[in-house]
């Protein structure tokens, strides 16, 4: 009798463990612990990349590109929208693969654009230094220095946005971005797609 009770108790305990495991597997909503904070979800602001804003370049400091993140640019990232969609685990995994493939496919192009920016800034700052030297050596006046710096600033701004090879690279980036967005849309259900589409309309294309 005692042996039968022990066997029955053991079988009950095993059944409880099996039931708990099944409940944990079935009840674990993948939307609870999803994270979209890694770099593949932090999309660059393509408009800002196409027409970067300069800072400095005055009498005291060399030219630099202003790249401070803003609330507006953060809202344009996948990290902003994806956590709000209530994605399931399989959706999130697929989207993560899309985002990683996008990041890998564009890394060379983004690097080329950065190199173009650096070359433009290097030439501009070398020219700026020559003007500063001329002023410090009293070969030009302060008014002449200011005029030269303003002219240089305008030229650098134009070059940063209209550089021919950069324009080609930007077109490639925009095509990849469009492809990424379209791929993500294929994974969404109608409710998620409606929310996603509303977000898409609120950000630059």
Structure tokens at 139: 């070969």
Q: What mean pLDDT, rounded, does the chain reach?
A: 82
* The pLDDT value given to residue 191: 96
Q: Is the pLDDT of residue 6 over 50?
A: no
pLDDT category at 43 given cuts 50, 70, 90 is confident
* The pLDDT value given to residue 76: 83
Continuous segment of H or E residues that includes residue 86:
none
CB 121 within 8 A of CB 161: no
Q: Is the pLDDT of residue 190 over 50?
A: yes
Helices (H), strands (E): how many in the chain?
8, 2
pLDDT category at 3 given cuts 50, 70, 90 is very low
Give the list of residues 6+ apart from residue 41 with CB closer than 8 angstroms, or none.
77, 78, 79, 82, 99
Phi, psi angles (nearest 5°) of residue 102: -65, -45
For 140-192, the three-class secondary structure string (H helix, E strand, C coil) is CCHHHHHHHHHHHHHHHHHHHHHCHHHHHHHHHHHHHHHHHHHHHHCCCCHHH
User: Which range has the worst mean pLDDT, 20-29, 116-125, 131-140, 155-164?
Assistant: 20-29
What is the Cα–Cα distance from 52 to 64, expressed in whole angstroms? 10
Taking CA atoms, 161 is separated from 49, 77, 106, in Å, by: 9, 22, 19
* The pLDDT value given to residue 89: 93
Q: Is the pLDDT of residue 181 over 60?
A: yes
The pTM assigned to this predicted structure is 0.75
What is the Cα–Cα distance from 167 to 113, expressed in whole angstroms? 9
* The pLDDT value given to residue 42: 85
* The pLDDT value given to residue 59: 65
> Domain residue spans in the chain?
1-30, 31-201
* The pLDDT value given to residue 195: 96
* The pLDDT value given to residue 72: 60
* The pLDDT value given to residue 139: 96
**Terminus-to-terminus CA distance in the chain, angstroms?**
76
Q: Is the pLDDT of residue 57 over 90?
A: no
* The pLDDT value given to residue 69: 53
* The pLDDT value given to residue 193: 97
pLDDT category at 205 given cuts 50, 70, 90 is low
Q: Tell me the range of 38-42, 45-49, 133-137 where mean pLDDT is highest.
A: 133-137
Residue 100 has a CB neighbour count (10 Å cut-off) of 14
3-class SS of residue 55: strand
Q: Which residues pair with 63 in a beta bridge?
A: 56
Q: Is the pLDDT of residue 39 over 50?
A: yes
């Amino acid at each position: 009798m005692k042996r039968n009770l022990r066997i029955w108790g053991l079988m009950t305990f095993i059944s409880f463990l099996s039931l708990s495991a099944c409940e944990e597997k079935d009840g674990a909503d993948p939307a609870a612990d999803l994270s979209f904070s890694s770099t593949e979800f932090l999309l660059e602001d393509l408009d800002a990349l196409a027409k970067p804003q300069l800072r400095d370049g005055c009498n005291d400091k060399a030219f630099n590109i202003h790249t401070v993140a803003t609330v507006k640019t953060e809202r344009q990232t996948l990290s902003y929208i994806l956590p709000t969609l209530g994605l399931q685990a399989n959706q999130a995994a697929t989207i993560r693969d899309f985002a990683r493939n996008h990041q890998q496919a564009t890394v060379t192009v983004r690097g080329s654009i950065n190199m173009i920016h650096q070359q433009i800034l290097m030439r501009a700052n070398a020219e700026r230094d020559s003007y500063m030297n001329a002023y410090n050596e009293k070969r030009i006046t302060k008014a002449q220095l200011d005029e030269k710096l303003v002219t240089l600033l305008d030229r650098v701004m134009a070059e940063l946005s209209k550089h021919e090879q950069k324009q080609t690279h930007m077109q490639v980036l925009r095509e990849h971005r469009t492809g990424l967005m379209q791929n993500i849309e294929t994974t969404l259900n109608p409710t998620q797609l409606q929310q996603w589409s509303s977000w898409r309309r609120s950000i630059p294309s």
